[in-house]
Amino acid sequence: MTSRREVLKATGALMGATVLTGALSGAWTASAAPRGAERPGALPSYLPEGLYNRRQRWLRSASAGLFLHWGMRTFPGYTDAASWEDAITGGGWDPNYWVDEARKLHASYLVLASFHSRLGYSRAWPSKIPGSASTKRDFLGELIAAAKAKGLHVILYMTDDPQWHAEGGHEQLDSAAYSAYKGKQVDLTTRPGFGEYSFDNFVEIMNNYPDLSGFWIDNDNEYWEQNGLYALIRQRRPSWLLSNNNEDTPIMDTVSNEQKVGMVPAYDYPAAVWTPMPRLTEACYKLPSKGQWWFDGSDSTVDHGLNVGRFITNAGSSIKSLMAETAQVNGRFPANQEAFNNFLASYLPAIRESIDDTVGGGYMYGGLQPGAWNDGAYGVVTISKRDPFLQYVHVTTPPTTGILTIRDNGYKIVRVTELRSGKRLPFEQKDGRVTISGIAAWDPYDTVLRVHTAAREGLYPQRQITSTASAAADGFPATGLTDGSFVTWWDSGEALPVTVTLDLGRRLPVSFLAINQREWSPTYNRETFGRKEDSARIKDYEVYVSDDGNEWGAPILTGVLESARGVRFVDLDVPRTRYVRLAVNTTWAAATVPAFYQKLGIDEVRVGWRSPVGHDHVD
């Protein structure tokens, strides 16, 4: 299997091959931008095919999807397609129910997983290809039509894995029937044989369902690679998405990060995600707290706080929430899941503007700093694509006081209001932070503050700064630190200790460094789960300054940078200097995690010379 570092380098190598003029749908453009303003809601206009394509627009604009594991082994389980189909129809299955439940979840798409290894490789549609169960009624076609009528998309799950062919003590794959169909011997229980069989199913689906929106593919199969499956899909259905589970494969539009747990707070799903922006990324997780991904006969509880928190923190990291619910044979969800859907349908409208047409703040799009705040508070930031000066602070865990303090990341704050009530809140801004008060009560799941800003202040233009490093991987030079693009970045080449030097061009004051590290590794310590720290991020560091680039003297600051996602700050108080050197001595990743140990990537370093100052005292 290709290593993640090799995949990232392959993705980077694509950059010179594809030049696109389209910008992220809904993002404000240069023509709409006030003079001198930055564009936090806009994607770079030059992105390689795997990172951005017009077919991705609808999903980039989405917040969520509904994942449906529903097949022959859905409780009580069936051993033949006819019995399963009779039970579905007899139970009153209606595709509009799924579509309507998806809309309650604010979902823009549904992923149907019936051709799933542990669900019996069952095809919920008519097929002329023998080899596994297939229904006569076209449930897939009915679902696509119902979704299209209400503006939603359907993506079809496809598996690469035959190892579960006898799951439940019943053989699910019919090698003899498929061999007769092909006129040669094919063993469907082997990877090559199953790869050929599933390849034929891909082709049949492409031919029969033009309104499908793509495939959600569980890993990969050697037969598909050897026979050009993905190139064929691109040729025949260029508008369809390709999503891959748990691998960052350049040809895929989407990377899905599956069922992450163990973070603190528990809902902070993005802390375990390893796919960096601007990659189109899903968080794939179950809503019920226990049980299988499919209906196993139980009605497990749905933790409202956990799942609302996941939804919001994903939105604050530009990650799509692909929520799995366990549909019963008749299509209906167990009572606890249906109740959660109804709750979310009533909860989200009041804060919808802070989720729709937004991007995650604190990363490549700019924005206030997300994560851990004062007095135990935690949350994320979203930025409007339509108005670059409008940000939303989502307080998913409130502070123990009525005051919230956030790093401003250079943004001049103009006005703060509670989104739900419209109440204007007093704030004070100084020393790189904004402190907001007057919050009478915190929402149990997400208090949303509407923050109007002016353009960023006190940051030197990136074009003014020249960056060098003591080491760099091939193709990832230090110039990526200050080129203003998150599509290019600096990679240390596994050299530690390592230094980064910033040349300001002349002697100037320096107040802080704002560092966006590459979001390609998890950021939480899994020590209690038997695995050491993963985070490939700066730990022990020193800062030096010099007027001539030769004499550096002793470090002016020695510290430990927290292992956390989003922009991190190193505060300095240097009256004037030309050169600033950041020396990274160690990173957080443990030696027992070789994929991340002593590896470091930084997307961007900004140099600040002063912080905005202001206040709004509301009577």
Give 191-216 pLDDT, tens digit per residue: 999 999 999 999 999 999 999 999 99
Mean pLDDT across the stretch 267-272? 95
Q: In this predicted structure, what is the pLDDT of residue 148?
A: 98
Q: What is the pLDDT of residues 504-550, one digit of tens each?
A: 999 999 999 999 999 999 988 776 556 777 899 999 999 999 999 99
The two tokens of residue 595 are: 């994929």
Mean pLDDT across the stretch 134-149? 98
Asked if 360 and 381 touch (Cβ cutoff 8 Å), the reply is yes
Angle, to 10 degrees, between the axis of helix 229-236 and the axis of helix 191-208? 0
Q: Backbone dihedral region of 361: left (phi > 0), alpha (psi from -120 to 50 degrees) or beta?
A: beta
Overall pTM > 0.95:
no
Asked if 613 and 538 touch (Cβ cutoff 8 Å), the reply is no
Q: In this predicted structure, what is the pLDDT of residue 555?
A: 98
Q: Phi, psi at residue 291, to the nearest 5°?
A: 90, 180
**pLDDT confidence bin for 219, thresholds 50/70/90:** confident
Asked if 220 and 237 touch (Cβ cutoff 8 Å), the reply is no
- Is 90 exceeded by the pLDDT of residue 326? yes
Mean pLDDT across the stretch 297-319? 97
**pLDDT confidence bin for 17, thresholds 50/70/90:** very low
Between 420 and 455, name the one with better pLDDT: 420
The CA-atom distances, in angstroms, between 472 and each of 54, 132, 319, 490 are 33, 51, 29, 7
Mean pLDDT estimate for the chain: 91
563 Cα distance to chain centroid: 18
Of 179, 198, 183, nearest to 127 by C-alpha is: 198
Q: Phi, psi at residue 150, to the nearest 5°?
A: -115, 15
- Is 70 exceeded by the pLDDT of residue 30? no
Mean pLDDT across the stretch 451-474? 96
**pLDDT confidence bin for 362, thresholds 50/70/90:** very high
The CA-atom distances, in angstroms, between 499 and each of 100, 233, 515 are 54, 45, 14
**CB within 8 Å of 46: residues ≥ 6 apart:** 15, 19, 20, 487
Q: What is the pLDDT of residues 38-86, one digit of tens each?
A: 444 444 444 555 677 889 999 999 999 999 999 999 999 999 999 999 9
**What one-character DSSP code corresponds to residue 552?**
-
Q: In this predicted structure, what is the pLDDT of residue 247?
A: 81
The two tokens of residue 32 are: 């709409």
Q: In this predicted structure, what is the pLDDT of residue 57?
A: 93
Burial of 366 (C-beta count, 10 Å sphere; 0-12/13-18/19+): buried
**pLDDT confidence bin for 272, thresholds 50/70/90:** very high
32 Cα distance to chain centroid: 28
**CB within 8 Å of 551: residues ≥ 6 apart:** none
- Is 70 exceeded by the pLDDT of residue 35? no
Q: In this predicted structure, what is the pLDDT of residue 528?
A: 58
Strands (E), 172-301: 214-218, 241-245, 254-258, 280-286
Q: Give 207-211 contacts, CB < 8 A, sequence gap 24+.
A: 208/125, 208/141, 209/140, 209/141, 209/144, 209/156, 210/237, 211/144, 211/145, 211/148, 211/154
Asked if 254 and 242 touch (Cβ cutoff 8 Å), the reply is yes
Q: Provide Rg for the chain, Cα atoms.
A: 26
Q: Phi, psi at residue 75, to the nearest 5°?
A: -50, 135
- Is 60 exceeded by the pLDDT of residue 25? no
Of 569, 226, 617, 237, nearest to 431 by C-alpha is: 569
Q: In this predicted structure, what is the pLDDT of residue 24?
A: 31
Burial of 295 (C-beta count, 10 Å sphere; 0-12/13-18/19+): buried
Please name the residue that has the structure tokens 């960056």: 467
Between 81 and 20, name the one with better pLDDT: 81
Asked if 154 and 142 touch (Cβ cutoff 8 Å), the reply is no
Q: How many residues does the chain have?
A: 619
Q: In this predicted structure, what is the pLDDT of residue 530?
A: 64
Burial of 552 (C-beta count, 10 Å sphere; 0-12/13-18/19+): middle
Q: In the chain, what are the helix, strand and coil shares in percent, each to the nearest 5?
A: 25, 30, 50
- Is 90 exceeded by the pLDDT of residue 294? yes
**CB within 8 Å of 221: residues ≥ 6 apart:** 160, 191, 194, 195, 198
Q: In this predicted structure, what is the pLDDT of residue 244?
A: 86
Asked if 218 and 159 touch (Cβ cutoff 8 Å), the reply is yes
- Is 90 exceeded by the pLDDT of residue 165? yes
**What one-character DSSP code corresponds to residue 600?**
-
Q: In this predicted structure, what is the pLDDT of residue 51?
A: 75
Q: In this predicted structure, what is the pLDDT of residue 10?
A: 35
- Is 80 exceeded by the pLDDT of residue 271? yes
- Is 90 exceeded by the pLDDT of residue 398? yes
Q: What is the pLDDT of residues 83-127, one digit of tens each?
A: 999 999 999 999 999 999 999 999 999 999 999 999 999 999 999
- Is 80 exceeded by the pLDDT of residue 171? yes
- Is 60 exceeded by the pLDDT of residue 250? yes
